Amino acid sequence: MAFAYVIVYLSKLIITMAINTPIRKSKAPYFLGILCLFPLIGAFVGLGLLIYSLAYYKDKWLTIIGAFGILFTIIIYSLFFYAANNLNVFKQSWVQITQMQLNSLVKNIEFYKLQNGVYPDSLKQLLIDDKVAPIHDQIAGMKSKRDNYFNYRKVNDNYTLFSSGPDGIPNTKDDLYPIIIINDSSRIGFRKYK
């Protein structure tokens, strides 16, 4: 958050300098264009250079450098977003994270039963005691704009829990289930119903 304040302050400073500085014939600060190569910072520096160029220097090359700084940040973040949603390396990372969250969520559900004597009716009930319980299905959330929770259903004194997987469709072969060892003598309520 402090980083954002610094960026806003620097942008205001550059704009103020551009407006209040008397016009003189000096060399445009092309060297600041190097900062445009840093995503996010480059967008703010580029905006400052663009305004400074238009208001003070009237220099087409400084204007181009400023516009490049803005476009470079947009392109880099667009590529990150595309890669996170479409490349298999990133999808596999999301699958691993989701698997860990499912395994952890079983512990939260079992602890809820220890405290309350029954399994929760919905995953939202876990948030009463643990505000950071991992109830959101991250893989399904990538495909949708709404809140997606893991698939949970209480069945008598047991429950089923799974993620819809990378395709976001429940009850398909790419669904993810918690990986836990269940013995005949286990007192855990998780069951893998189909």
pLDDT (tens digit, 9 = 90+) per residue, 159-173?
Answer: 889 988 887 788 888
Residues 79 and 16 in one domain: yes
Mean per-residue pLDDT of the chain: 81
Higher pLDDT, 71 or 145: 71
Please tell me the distance from the alpha carbon of residue 179 to that of residue 105, in angstroms, as a whole number. Answer: 11
Average pLDDT over every residue of 131-137: 85
The answer on 79 and 8 residing in a single domain is: yes
Same-domain check for residues 81 and 10: yes
For the stretch 17-54, pLDDT in tens is: 656 655 555 677 888 888 888 888 888 888 888 888 88
| 171 inside domain | no
> Which of 67, 86, 105 delimits the end of a domain?
86
Residue 3 burial by Cβ neighbours in a 10 Å radius (0-12, 13-18, 19+): exposed
Nearest to 121 by CA among 152, 92, 87: 152
Task: Assess if residue 178 is contained within a domain.
Answer: no
Amino acid found at 31 = F
Asked if residue 98 and residue 82 are part of one domain, the reply reads no
pLDDT at 75: 93
Q: Is residue 22 part of a domain?
A: yes
Q: Which two tokens stand for residue 164?
A: 């819809």
Are 92 and 73 part of one and the same domain?
no
| Partners of 155 in beta bridges | 158
Query: Are 6 and 76 members of one domain?
Result: yes
Q: Please check whether residues 64 and 8 belong to one and the same domain.
A: yes
HSE-up of residue 178 (Cα within 13 Å, Cβ side) = 27
Do 82 and 94 belong together in one domain? no
- pLDDT digits 0-9 by tens, 109-127: 999 898 888 999 999 988 8
CB 28, CB 62: distance < 8 Å = yes
Close Cβ partners of 168 (under 8 Å, ≥ 6 residues apart):
139, 140, 143, 144, 148
Q: Which domain holds residue 60?
A: 2-86
Residues 6 and 82 placed together within one structural domain of the fold: yes
The domain total for the chain is 2
Tell me, yes or no, whether 80 and 103 share the same domain.
no
Top pLDDT among 141 and 42 is at 42
Same domain, 117 and 54: no
The answer to whether position 180 is within a domain reads no
Section 3-26 average pLDDT = 64
Residue 177 lies in a domain: no
> Do 161 and 105 form a contact (C-beta atoms < 8 A)?
yes
Looking at the structure, tell me whether residues 142 and 68 fall in a common domain.
no
